[in-house]
Amino acid sequence: MTRSTRRLGVVLFQLGGPDSLEAIEPFLYNLFCDPDIIDFPFARIGRKPLAKLISATRARKVQHHYATIGGHSPIRRNTERQAQALEAELRNQGLNARCVVAMRYWHPFTAEAIEQVYRAECDELILLPMYPQYSSTTTGSSLNEWRRLFRSDIPVHCVETFYRDTTYLDAVIEKINDAIWRFPSPDSPPIIFSAHGVPLSVINKGDPYQRQIEETVALVMARGGWRNRHRLCYQSKVGASKWLQPSLHHTLQQLSTEQVREVCVVPIAFVSDHVETLAEIDHEAREFAMRLGFTRFEMSAGLNDSPTFIRGLAEIVRRAANAPARATIPVRSLGRQFATPEFAAAAGVD
């Protein structure tokens, strides 16, 4: 029996995260083995030993982050819920859709997602990285891994960014409003947008991430209509090399010297709660702010499976499905991202 409608496969790409404390080191090893993360002359020989060194050292340093949020990352659960909600929304709109999750550095890996796509006998694919802004280290890496492993002539549509999508922006604004209205005077606290940082070497090679983050903040502030002051900062720095600045901690210190005592932090580059939001911001940065004398610290929740966000993703998928498809996906190469000394240093610092 043949199907009467075409089946649309939607692949949601994410970073992934360890599902136990024991999985932290192999998760980090997979990350630092990524050629889109570490590349240098003779990397084919040196990448794996270097990744082993960094991951062993980093695992001991970040274990407490995962311990504070239950001993594992919730990113798989949250992304799978997004996939389930998106599939239901698309089917409600009359599309025969199958949504699967492809994690870059932990289960379910990209190869596992590809097997699900094959089994579902999809006629057409939408590749949907769950990163609103493009970076060669996130979206680029995920799509490169897909291209290395996928062996089919199924038509493919690729969504590289969605930070300008108005429904996505509305979903972010909803979460900010939820946090702002927890303050006695909602117009008072500055809104601090915190994005995952990347090394300046990546930006200097042409990566559009910083520009797109800045544009996202401008779009959210204009559409949200708040009168609050706002600032943009970055988090999650690794190693001794120069990363995007200012850091979240530096921003909190600066606000403290200005006698600011309330702050609302918005994780702007993330679409779900995970270790960077729950541990780095809501636990570590909160404790740091309290030591600085802040009396109120609120963080806006991740988008997760917010109905507005899921509706926005469905709109993005439908637009992509109506665009011309390709048999293969384009590859952006921005050159080598890091030099060996920078990542050797990463093995020994925070």
Q: Are residues 279 and 315 in the same domain?
A: no
159 & 176 share domain: no
Within 8 A by CB and 6+ apart from 97, the residues are 7, 8, 9, 10, 86, 87, 90, 91, 317
Phi, psi of 258 (to 5 degrees): -90, 10
Domain count within the chain: 2
Burial class (CB in 10 A: 0-12, 13-18, 19+), 149: middle
Residue 251 and residue 266 share a domain: yes
Could you tell me if residue 219 is inside a domain?
yes
What pTM does this model have?
Answer: 0.92
In this predicted structure, what is the pLDDT of residue 329? Answer: 60
Residues 6+ apart with CB under 8 A from 149: 110, 111, 114
Identify the domain boundary among 260, 278, 299: 299
- Residue 180 covered by a domain: yes
Say if 1 falls within a structural domain.
Answer: no
- The C-alpha atoms of residue 267 and residue 172 are separated, in whole angstroms, by 9
On whether residue 342 sits in a domain, the answer given is: yes
Cα 140 to chain centroid distance, Å, stands at 12
Residue 196 structural domain: 166-299
Same domain, 133 and 171: no
CA distance 190 to 122: 47
Same domain, 216 and 123: no
Are both 203 and 149 inside the same structural domain? Answer: no
**Phi, psi values for residue 195, rounded to 5°:** -115, 150
**Residue 137 amino acid letter:** T
In this structure, the answer to whether residues 171 and 150 fall within a common structural domain is no
Task: Find the CATH number of the domain harbouring 264.
Answer: 3.40.50.1400
Dihedral (Cα; 173, 213, 334, 236), 10-degree rounding: -90
Q: What are the pLDDT digits (tens) for 337-350? A: 333 333 333 333 22
pLDDT tens string, the chain, 350 residues long: the values are: 455 589 999 999 999 999 999 999 999 999 999 999 877 776 777 888 989 998 999 998 899 999 999 999 999 999 999 999 999 999 999 999 999 999 999 999 999 999 999 999 999 999 999 999 999 999 999 999 999 999 999 999 999 999 999 999 999 999 999 999 999 999 999 999 999 999 999 999 999 999 999 999 999 999 999 999 999 999 999 878 899 999 999 999 999 999 999 999 999 999 999 999 999 999 999 999 999 999 999 999 999 999 999 999 999 999 999 988 765 565 554 433 333 333 333 333 22
Residue 67 counted as domain residue: yes
62: Cα separation from own chain's centroid: 18
